[in-house]
Chains A and B, each alone.
Chain A
Amino acid sequence: MRKLFAPLLVLTAVMFAYAPVVIANTRYESTMFLVQKIFYFHFASWMAWAAAIGVCGIASAVYLFRADPRGDRLAVAGAELAILFGAFGLVTGSLWGRKAWGVWWQWDARLTMALMAELIFVGYLLVRKYGGPGAEKLAAGMGIFGAATTPFIYKSVDWWRTIHPQTSVVRNLGETAPDMYGAMLFCTVAFLLLFASLLTVRVHLESRRAELDRLYLALEDQP
């Protein structure tokens, strides 16, 4: 993975540098005009968030059931990135909503569930930091349950009709506005690459911390 890191980072940087050009070249949506262009980073943030939550959930299960410390390192990195990308999605959504809906926040099913999921992962990190011995296993349980909320959050807009657009809007975008769909895919790939780059760095940090702990233990064992 370390060998892949440099090309991954370069590709991510190039895609992010080119993203404003791609977004600027898409047409304006007929009712929201300029503010709709928040969509490209907003949607991509949630996709990266879903990837981060997926990684955290699977890695937590691996750590919990196989006691593999690599799973724990991956899970904590995933949880932290889920908070980061979740914050991107919530803040950009709020700014978009203020202009398009006239409110900063709406307690509808999608928004409320997304906020709850964000809080679950904040809780995950708090449990790890202040939970004392065995907190990693408790946090792993939280990671699994946090990941289990993702399909419900995704389908919430179809099950409970509220102000938030349904999932079919994105699905139909390929037919109704191919340029918008292309820009959306471009930004999504850029965000997923950013997620992979950040995950690599964050896992490296956890590995170094684990090594430091090993060194401390070795020093204590010395006569």
Chain B
Amino acid sequence: MTRGLCVAIVFLFLAGAPVLAGQQPATEGFVPASELPPDQQLPAAPFLIGAYAFIWLALVFYLWTIWRRLGKVEQEMRALDERQRSHAR
């Protein structure tokens, strides 16, 4: 049992060594985003378009919900009005 455990620990160290060796050294200090290599930089346009598109889409969706809720209330009022009229007869 103890022997098996020791073998497992040694195996883990050996297997982990290449992973640790492959790690990048820790960055010292702050690196501005503009100084990053081109492959690590994010393009700005999708974020800008995404932000404006979200506002427009959310606004249209909200207006649609108001229109739907208002329509529902008006429909209910018409039904109630008819009920009242038939009740009066």
Binding site for B on A (CB under 8 A): 31-35, 37-38, 41-42, 45, 84, 87-88, 91-92, 95-96, 98-100, 102, 194, 198, 201-202, 204-205, 208-209, 211-212, 215-216, 219, 222
Q: CA separation between A42 and B55, bound complex, in Å?
A: 10
Q: How far is the CB of A163 from chain B (nearest CB, A)?
A: 12
Total interface residues on B, using CB and 8 Å?
28
On whether the beta carbons of B66 and A202 are closer than 8 Å, the reply is: yes
Residues of B within 8 A of A212 (CB): 73, 76-77, 80
- Taking A31-B32, A91-B54 as given, write out 14 further A-B residue pairs in contact, using a Cβ cutoff of 8 Å, ordered by the A residue number: A35-B47, A38-B52, A41-B52, A88-B54, A88-B58, A95-B48, A95-B50, A96-B51, A201-B70, A204-B70, A208-B77, A209-B73, A216-B80, A219-B87
| Contact sample, A vs B, 24 pairs, CB 8 Å cutoff | A32-B44, A35-B47, A35-B48, A38-B48, A38-B51, A38-B52, A41-B51, A41-B52, A42-B51, A88-B54, A95-B47, A95-B50, A95-B51, A95-B54, A102-B33, A201-B66, A202-B66, A204-B70, A205-B70, A209-B73, A212-B77, A215-B84, A219-B84, A219-B87
Residues of A within 8 A of B80 (CB): 212, 215-216, 219
Residues from chain B with a CB closer than 8 A to the CB of A219 are 80, 83-84, 87
Query: Does B34 count as interface, using CB distance less than 8 angstroms?
Result: yes
Which residue numbers of B lie inside 8 Å of A, CB to CB?
A: 32-34, 42, 44-45, 47-48, 50-52, 54-55, 58-59, 62, 66, 69-70, 73-74, 76-77, 80-81, 83-84, 87
CB distance from A120 to the nearest CB of B (A): 19
In the complex, the answer to whether B33 meets A91 with C-beta atoms within 8 Å is no
CB neighbours of B84 from chain A (8 A): 215, 219
Of the listed residues B42, B48, B59, B80, the one surrounded by the most CB atoms of chain A closer than 10 A to its CB is B48
Chain A residues with CB under 8 A of B44: 32-35, 99
A41-B52, A84-B62, A88-B58 known; A96 vs B77 contact (CB < 8 Å): no
Decide: B50 and A88 in contact? CB cutoff 8 A.
no
Q: How far is the CA of A209 from the CA of B59 in the complex (A)?
A: 22
Q: Name the residue on B nearest A194 (C-beta).
A: B59
Contacts of A100 in B (CB 8 A): 33
Residue of B nearest to A38 (CB): B51
Given contacts A205-B73, A208-B70, A219-B80, whether A38 and B47 have CB atoms under 8 Å apart is yes
Of the residues B55, B73, B77, B87, contact of A222 by C-beta under 8 Å = B87
Of the candidates A91, A99, A208, A212, the one having the most CB atoms from chain B within 10 angstroms of its own CB is A99
Q: How far does the Cβ of A81 sit from chain B's closest Cβ, in whole Å? A: 9
Complex CA gap A216/B76 in Å reads 10
6 A-B pairs closest in CB distance: A35-B44, A34-B44, A92-B51, A95-B47, A95-B51, A38-B51
